[in-house]
Amino acid sequence: MSRTSSATKLFSSLLIQSKHGHRLLPSSPASFAGVRNWSASATPPAKEENPSNKPVVSYWGVAPTKLAKEDGSAWKWNCFRPWESYKPDLSIDVKKHHKADTLMDKGAYWTVQTLKFPTYLFFQRRHMCHAMLLETVAAVPGMVGGMLLHCKSLRRFEQSGGWIKALLEEAENERMHLMTFIELAKPKWYERALVFAVQGVFFNAYFLAYLASPKLAHRIVGYLEEEAVNSYTEFLRDLDNGSFENVPAPAIAIDYWRMPPDSTLRDVVMVIRADEAHHRDLNHYASDIQCQGLELKDSPAPLGYH
């Protein structure tokens, strides 16, 4: 049997079923003919991330695979893969609040209340704009915390208890909220400038806060997430009373949260609010662990939500 025909046979027999039921299709028979030999037939990245749509020529054997959805249609997103999509837990309690009893908790709570005031004043009922800019900030703490725990794990030659992954998952999830909102609203130049400045300040401030006191940093994020839940509740209220148009959900949201094709913006806000409630619980829990004199690695991280 020639090399090509044996590779083709192998190709047709290998439809890999992922844990969420999505099929992973090899890009071409050549991809199974030997990774090192697979080069020019590599699948070009999707149009969205390669505007020129020119095929990438490389002999390094790392070209992307073609993916398919459950219905057999092609997977069109390069920014996330089918196994990263999930159904959020909509039954999560969206009214939960951590009572600030200690001095540290009160400090964290009032820090968030102080930060909240100018943003509510600035955005008022412009929910889409508010949500979009909120997400650019919300995606920072998980990345900073995850990065610092990663470095700590390397420095101390010790496990992290899954917390590095949990925090990086949170950051990625927040970034996907942002990717969803930019399908619905395009930021103006001054909003981009605001994000640029806020990120410069917030990243460094949170980095220093996490170095000084991780339990305080997580408590602040816990309260920030409580406010995120509240602002999405306001968004839902205005969608329900008709003061905000309930447009169809963007395609990226339908695939990321495995929503029905006829989903609307209201459905999107519902799932994002559930995500924020999960982030709230995770960060308050991370702070509670450390307030009890333990380290994060002593208690397994709540992984597997996404």
Binding site for Fe ion (CB under 5 A): 135, 138, 174, 177, 225, 276, 279
Selection from 39, 41, 44 nearest residue 59 by Cα = 39
Amino acid making up residue 158:
E
Task: List C-alpha distances in Å: 169 to 97, 146, 165.
Answer: 23, 9, 6
Tokens of 22: 């999505």
Output 137 or 254, the one with its CB closest to Fe ion. Answer: 137
Smallest gap, in angstroms, from Cβ of residue 138 to Fe ion? 5
**Smaller CB distance to Fe ion: residue 11 or 174?**
174
How far apart are CB 95 and Fe ion at their closest, in Å? Answer: 16
DSSP state letter for 182: T
**Measured from the CB atom, is 135 or 267 closer to Fe ion?**
135
Report the candidate in 301, 94, 108, 103 with the shortest Cα–Cα distance to residue 221: 108
CB of 228 to Fe ion, least distance (A): 5
Nearer to Fe ion, 77 or 181 (CB): 181
Angle between helices 265-291 and 127-156 (to 10 degrees): 40
Lookup: tokens for 254: 């339908």
Contact between 65 and 25 (Cβ < 8 Å): yes
Q: Which of 234, 246, 221 is nearest to 167 (CA)?
A: 221
16-17, strands of its sheet edge to edge:
16-17, 23-25, 66-68
Write the Ramachandran bin of 9: left for phi over 0, alpha for psi from -120 to 50, otherwise beta. Answer: alpha
* Residue 171 or 289 with smaller CB distance to Fe ion: 171
Is the CB of residue 297 less than 8 Å from the CB of residue 166? Answer: no
Nearer to Fe ion, 42 or 253 (CB): 253
Q: Least Å distance between CB 229 and Fe ion?
A: 9
Query: Do 131 and 235 contact (CB within 8 A), yes or no?
Result: yes
Residue spans of alpha helices (H) in 26-126 = 103-123
Closest CB to Fe ion among residues 140, 164:
140
Least gap, CB of 176 to Fe ion (angstroms): 8
Least distance in Å: CB of 155 to Fe ion? 28
Query: Least distance to Fe ion from the beta carbon of 76, Å?
Result: 23
Integer Cα distance of 164 and 167 in angstroms = 5
